Structures are given as C-alpha cells and as structure tokens.
Chain A
Amino acid sequence: MYVLKLALQKLSTRPVSSAFSVLLFAIGCSIISLIILAEKNLTRSVERNFSEIDLVIGAKGSPLQLILSSVLHADYPTGNISLYEAENIARNPLVKKSIPLALGDNYRGFRIVGAPIEYAAMYNATLDEGAWYEHTLEAVVGANVARATGLQMGDRFYGVHGFQDAGHAHPEFLYTVTGIMKQGAGVMDNLILTPVSSVWKVHEGHHHDDHDHGDHDHDDQDHDSAGHHDHDHDHENCDHDHHDHDHNHSHSHYHAHEGTHDHHPEQPVDPAIAAIKEMIEAGEDISLEEMQLYTAYLQQSQVASHDDKREITAMLLQFRSPAGLIQLTRLVNESTNMQAAAPALEINRLMSLLSVGFDLLLILAWVIIVFSGINIFIHLWNTLRGELQDIALMRVLGASRAKVFLLLVAQGVAIALAGWMSGMVLSRVIWLLLPSFHFMTETGAGTIYTQEIMLLLYALAAGFLASVIPAWTAYNADVHFNLTKK
C-alpha cells in the first residue's frame, strides 16, 4: 500500500530521530522479553528437572543452594554427607527411590557427577551412541558437553577440581567416554555422568579429618568435592596406582536403592515398632517420636558398617506417598546433622524472590515503553507541525482525510513494530551472551512466546496511541488555510 511505503520514506528522511525512537522502544521491549524468557525457561526447567525428585538430603547450609547445586547443577554444593547416614534415611519405608550424587570435579566447566544410571533414567535420558557405564572411571557425557568439548566415544579425559575450568587437576585418573546422551534430557545435557565409585576413586586417599560442614563459603570451591575436604592434600603421598586404573575396574559402584525396606531380613520385632510399621504401610501419619524410634530400629537392623567413611554430596529421594516428604524432612532436619530440602518448595521460594525483581523490572520496562510512546508522539508532532503544507498538498493530490490519518498512524506503528522486532533480537542476543542463563535454557532462542506476541500487540497499541493525536490533526487540517498561509 502506497501510504505505508510513503510513511517509511518519511521516517527515513529523519534517520537519527527515527532510530532513537526505535531504540528507546526496543530497550523497553527487550527487558520485558528477557523477563519472559527467564520465567519461561525457569518454569520449564523446573517442570523438567524437578518432577521426579521429592526431597534432597545434603550437608547443612542454604536449602536453596542445596537444590540449585544438586538438582539444577547451578550452584556450589553445601558440603558432603556421610553415605552411611544418608542411607539410613533412604532405607525408610516411605522412600520409593534414592539416588546418591557425588560431585567435585569438572571437565572444561562441565560437572562430573557420580551417580547410578538410575539418575539419568529419571530424566528419560537415552544414549545417542555407546553404552551406559559399568565400571569405575567410565563416563557418559551429555549432548551439550559432547558438542562443546568435542568429546567422542572412547576419548579419555581427566577432571579438574571444583566447578570451573581452571584448578587442581587429577591427570592420574583418566575417564573413558563410553556413551553420549541424546539432546533434550534437561539438566543431563550439561553433565558428565560416571559411577559414584569414580568420584571416590579420584578423591580417595585425601584426608577426611574435617567433618564440620558449618562453614559453607560459596567462593570456596574446595569444600565441595565428595570424599575430600582438604585443599592442601599432598598427591605425592597418596597411594595411587597411576598405571593400572583402566585395568582395575571396580565393580563395587553404588546402585540406586528401590524399596530397600522390603529386602530387610525380619528380626524379632518390638510390638511398638511393628505398630509403627503398620501405620506407615497404611499411609497414616506418625509422630516424630515414632519416626525416630523406627529409624533407630532400622539403623540397628542394617548391615552396613558404621566404619564406612565414604561420603556423597547429596541424596535424591522419591517417596511412595506425600506423607514421606513432611515426615522425612522433619526427621532429617531435627535429628541428623544433615539437612533435607524439597525442590518444589525451594524453587517456589526462589521464584517468589525472583518475581519481586521481575516485577520491578517489568515496571521499569513499561515506564520505558510509555516514555517511548511519548517520544514517538513528540517526534511525529514536531514533524507534522512543519509539514502541514505537505499534508495539504497530499490532499490536493487526491489523498483522502483517511489516507493522511493513516500516513501518520503508520509512522507511529512502524516505529513501534521496528522497536519490538529490535527488542526481540536484542533480548535473544543478551540471553545467548549471558552464560548465567544457560543452566535453564530449555528451548531454542528462536522461539517467540505468546506473551511476546501480546507484547507486540501492546507495542502496536502504544504506537497507535502516540500517533493518534498528530494523525487526527492531519485528518482535520484545513487544506485551504495551509496552502494559503504565508
């Protein structure tokens, strides 16, 4: 349509002023778009990564940190816990599935996570090639890891201590890639999975004299490796066999427990314990005292040795019934030196914290958009005042009132549309440039969300409102007067 083309030509005759109007609009739109991207990706990430995990047990510290570190793999772990103690909890009859995680090292920024393969199964991760690990120091890498690092089947690599690329290396323990996962398994895409025993092996021989997890400094990356607390360890004194590690596969790696309580040999049972067990199996609520009593009974009855000094970073739990969540959270937090945190709860807390920030940013963004609208108005109004004779001429040349109205509105709407499009591009560039967003990037940056389409409608409305007064003035401009005024 000719009027639209002329509107664009008109805008391009004032490139600086038009570009400024577009830029201002783009800033407002991109902030809103970034908020939408963050919320969408976070929600999807939560849905994808949290649905199977009811409770996480880890070292005391910030519960949110525990969830971020052991579920989203986005923060540093709170410390280590004793495998023995964690297993005591996992052995509770309310627990359906328990998965131990051992963290500590990374390869080129990607976390090496010691976990049974049930962990990957929880995310429906499937292999693109190769096979799941069977032995210590075998590893399966996520799709993003394979792409970013170029790791291929059969490749060997060694981990670096901590969660950043640079640090103390463990070159004497070479991992072998046995499989590569398919893209789209949530957080698995960015992980390197290995048996828990690998992490123990890499860190074995390190001192275990510090079991105080009270000091959880985020910046101290050295407190967080499973089975290892002492930064100043001396590798020369370690009793490692540097040459036979690939022949000497350990078959003692850890498997997830499923319904472990079913396998326990029946012992002479205290009637009180039997009553509690019946209540639990019936899904009834039991008191904390009863729970403690029952746990103590389980601890006595188990075979695991109290001398087991092995440690893990966290234990992920899935319950048979919702009752488990409340009871075990209370049990762990009140009667052990570990903490239990529910991912759903913590993420809700995080989201509500974030939403305050999001809301403030949203207000700021809308203020910018309102000012962009006012700016468009001023731009068009100033232009129109000098061009009323132009408008009169167009009328003489055959343009109807409606067409000159449209000419002005088209300019306002075009600025808004260009602003929105630039805003969308800007937000995606920022999204891709800021690596801190990557842990929750679930969809490609190319997706335009429904809210962004809504934003487009608001933007167009703002462009229209900004131009409607100049357009109405042009509509009503007196042709005769404007052609004859000196």
Chain B
Amino acid sequence: MSLLSVHSLNYRYPSGKSLAFPDFSCNPGSNLLIHGMSGCGKTTLLHLLSGILTPSHGEVRMGDVLMSAMASAEKDRFRGQHIGMIFQKHFFIEGISVLENLKAARRFAGNDDDHAYLHKLLDDLAIGHLSGKKAAQLSEGEQQRFSIARALANRPSWVLADEPTSGLDDVNCASFTALMRLAVEEKPVSWIVASHDNRLKDHFNHVYHL
C-alpha cells in the first residue's frame, strides 16, 4: 500500500457546522502525528481517513484507491483489511476472549483465523498469557496492548490511533511509543496518531497541526 493523501477534505456535521482540512499526505512506512487541542476535529479526521465518516466533499486516497468514493460495504471491507484502529476508549466485543476478539477482527475483515500469527502478536505485546481471558478482565495497560494487537491483527498498512496515550502515565506512554516501532513480520506499518499529548511529539517524523 502506498501513499495516503487527502485533497480539499471537508466535512459537514449533522448540526450544520462544517470543518475543512488542509491537504496533506503521508508516505508508506512513515509515522504521522496529528496534533491539536480537544474538539478541533482530530477524531473526525481519523474517521474520515478510515471511511467511518464520508466527507461532504474532497477525497481520501490510499494508494490508488479513492476511499471516499467507495460504497458502504466495500469501504467496511477495505478498512477491515488495510486499516487498524485504536480508540481512546478500549472497545472490545463483550463476552468473548481476547483471542476470540482478535479472530473476530480477522473474520470481519474476510480473513481466516491465523492462530500462529495471532499468538505471536500477543506474545510480542507480552499479553500472550491473557489470550483466554475476557477483555473486560484486563488492566488498563493490558487493554492498551490488546487494542494494539487487534489493530495489527490483519497485518494492516495503516494504524489510525485516537488519543492512545491520554489515560496513560509516562511509563506506559513510553511503552506505547516503543510498541509503535514493533516491526510486525518486517512489514512496514504507518502509524497516524491523533493526539493533544505533547509527550508524543518527539516520536514522530511528521507532525501535522490542526
């Protein structure tokens, strides 16, 4: 997957308020920090990039794919296969185990269970021993790692993270940035992180101010 680019992107909220985003692009393999204060539209931008929201006008391109023009189901499938997402709150499918959650991520993306890969992923993130537990039973730090594992479950080209460190202390924050650099099977993953957390600034080669 090659370049991600955004061109004259504009989103109108149901309330009527409209938000325009400057053009930018991000090369494969490079990390981008979208920095800005709360409420400036960081989450909206991430959701536009991932196809959760559809822009009022403008376009989002991932390589040669014009994501903003895709049909709903097609967009869901594309997102599942190529984009991993991490949220400020830790979401998981209730009632099933950590490993089952990762499998769900693979199945919804249209992939088969890849047990070997999923176990290796959990081991790399040091939560391999928790694979049979319910996600709700994990600690805050473990849930953070679980969220990263799920974002990487489909070997995505992009991981979009929304305020991933807002609830973390300095130690866990450092641990997160270290995990970001974790090479998954030597495949380059581009991280696009939206955050107001100044601690992250030093860890990104590109910072985009909103």
Other contacts beyond A402-B73, A480-B53: 8, CB < 8 A: A12-B95, A14-B95, A390-B93, A395-B52, A398-B77, A398-B109, A398-B154, A479-B47
Is there an interface contact between B52 and A397, defined as CB atoms closer than 8 Å? Answer: no
A296 at the B interface (CB under 8 A): no
Kindly identify which residue among A6, A386, A398, A484 contacts B76, using a CB–CB cutoff of 8 Å.
A398
A5-34 vs B: 1/0 string, CB under 8 Å? Answer: 010011011100000000000000000000
Is there an interface contact between B52 and A390, defined as CB atoms closer than 8 Å? Answer: no
Q: Which residues of B contact A395 (CB under 8 A)?
A: 52, 76
Shortest Cβ-Cβ A-B pairs, 7 listed: A398-B80, A13-B95, A400-B73, A398-B109, A2-B107, A398-B108, A397-B108
Per DSSP, chain A at the interface is helix
B204 at the A interface (CB under 8 A): no
Cα separation A12 to B104 with both chains bound (whole Å): 16
B51-83 vs A: 1/0 string, CB under 8 Å? Answer: 011000000000000000000110011011100
A399 at the B interface (CB under 8 A): yes
Is there an interface contact between A400 and B72, defined as CB atoms closer than 8 Å? Answer: yes
Is there an interface contact between B52 and A479, defined as CB atoms closer than 8 Å? Answer: yes
Q: Which residues of B contact A479 (CB under 8 A)?
A: 47, 52
Q: Which residues of B contact A400 (CB under 8 A)?
A: 72-73, 76-77
Kindly identify which residue among A6, A397, A401 contacts B72, using a CB–CB cutoff of 8 Å.
A401
B148 at the A interface (CB under 8 A): no
Is there an interface contact between B96 and A403, defined as CB atoms closer than 8 Å? Answer: no
Q: Can you list 24 A-B contacts with CB-CB less than 8 angstroms, sorted by A residue number?
A: A2-B107, A6-B93, A9-B96, A10-B95, A386-B94, A387-B94, A390-B94, A392-B91, A393-B91, A395-B52, A395-B76, A396-B50, A396-B52, A396-B79, A397-B80, A397-B104, A398-B105, A398-B110, A399-B108, A400-B72, A402-B73, A480-B52, A483-B47, A483-B52
Is there an interface contact between B95 and A394, defined as CB atoms closer than 8 Å? Answer: no
Q: Which of B84-99 touch A at CB < 8 Å?
A: 85, 87, 89, 91-96
Size bracket of the A interface = 20 to 34
- The residues of A with any CB-CB pair to B shorter than 8 Å are 2, 6, 9-10, 12-14, 386-387, 389-390, 392-403, 479-480, 483-484
Q: Which residues of A contact B72 (CB under 8 A)?
A: 400-401
Quote the shortest CB–CB distance from A9 to chain B (angstroms): 5
Cα separation A398 to B82 with both chains bound (whole Å): 10
Q: Which residues of A contact B96 (CB under 8 A)?
A: 6, 9, 13
Cα separation A480 to B47 with both chains bound (whole Å): 7
B100 at the A interface (CB under 8 A): yes
Q: Which residues of B contact A484 (CB under 8 A)?
A: 43
Quote the shortest CB–CB distance from B133 to chain A (angstroms): 14
Q: Which residues of B contact A394 (CB under 8 A)?
A: 93, 104, 108
Q: A402-B73, A480-B53, A483-B87 are in contact. Are A397 and B109 (CB under 8 A)?
A: yes
